[in-house]
Amino acid sequence: MKTILITGAGSGFGKLLTEQLSARSAYNIIASVRSIGDLGHGVEAHLAGLPNVSLAELDVTSDEQVDSITSRILEQYQSIDILVNNAGVFGGGLLEAHSIAQVQKLFNTNVYAPLRLMKAVLPAMRKQQEGLIINLSSMLGFFSIPLNAVYCASKFALEALVTGSYAELIQQGVENILVEPGSFPTELYQKAGIKADLPEVTRAYNGMAEQMAEYANNAVYQAIQEKKPDPRAVVGKIIQLIDMEKGTRPLRNPVDQISGEVFARKVADDLSALAQQQMKAYGF
């Protein structure tokens, strides 16, 4: 049985993925959450009761906890075959209204945490010349929009880490790839997140930020109500990627039921083609 470590498994895509993989009875699943005590008894009991699922606490922003959990998994199962970097946090607000400390805090969860997990699992994956890392990015890793510049920047950074390292790692038998969801009705947007923390700066914009936020929230709500995007589509994409043969998995895997799959795929393919064209221009 392959061993899978899923971060952020207490809600959203991570929880759905844990449930669906458990039903297949083909994996040892380590479902990690920041704090088991914060899950609520019902969710904790549900996840802990799933077949082949071990519930574990993991603060992905902690070097010590990441090293500890990966060492324990390797000791118990001898391998970590698949890592799903799903844990993340949303943000919002004017760029100027974010303190540098707040930006660093958001990047610690959305950028340094997946990198931290990659670095923790890669030595064992390289040794066995086998491994799959799936990173949950976003369509906002392609486009940056007002009031979300800091969050988008974190996803841009994740995209850069993964796309730049793909050719390095595939030669070591490891696939490091992306899944880029559009807007889906998950708990991500309902949580407090890591948002602009300088209210005096926001006030200096004389209500503009509030007006833009209200307009954007209404627009996204209407789009979700109209298109009814299903989070199971994202989980289905992840499972499809897990099932594919090594070397056949696309690097970028957008899933956007609001913009449309044809559009989302074109964005990913066009970016890849432009990157190849630039590399060719420099003689690579």
Nearest CA to 12 out of 136, 187, 153 is that of: 187
Active site residue 151: yes
Return the residue matching tokens 């895997």. Answer: 253
Q: Which residues contact 119 (CB under 8 A, 6 or more apart)?
A: none
CB 31 within 8 A of CB 6: yes
Helix (H/G/I), strand (E/B), else coil: 6: strand
Q: What are phi and psi of 186, to 5 degrees?
A: -115, 175
Distance between CA atoms of residues 115 and 162, nearest Å: 9
Residue type, 172: Q
156: tokens are: 């841009």
Active-site annotation holder among 27, 77, 112, 151: 151
Residue the block writes with tokens 């690097």: 251
**Of 164, 1, 17, which is closest to residue 84 (Cα–Cα)?**
17
CA-closest candidate to residue 16, choices 164, 230, 190, 245: 230
Phi, psi of 11 (to 5 degrees): -160, 175
Task: Write out the catalytic residue numbers.
Answer: 151
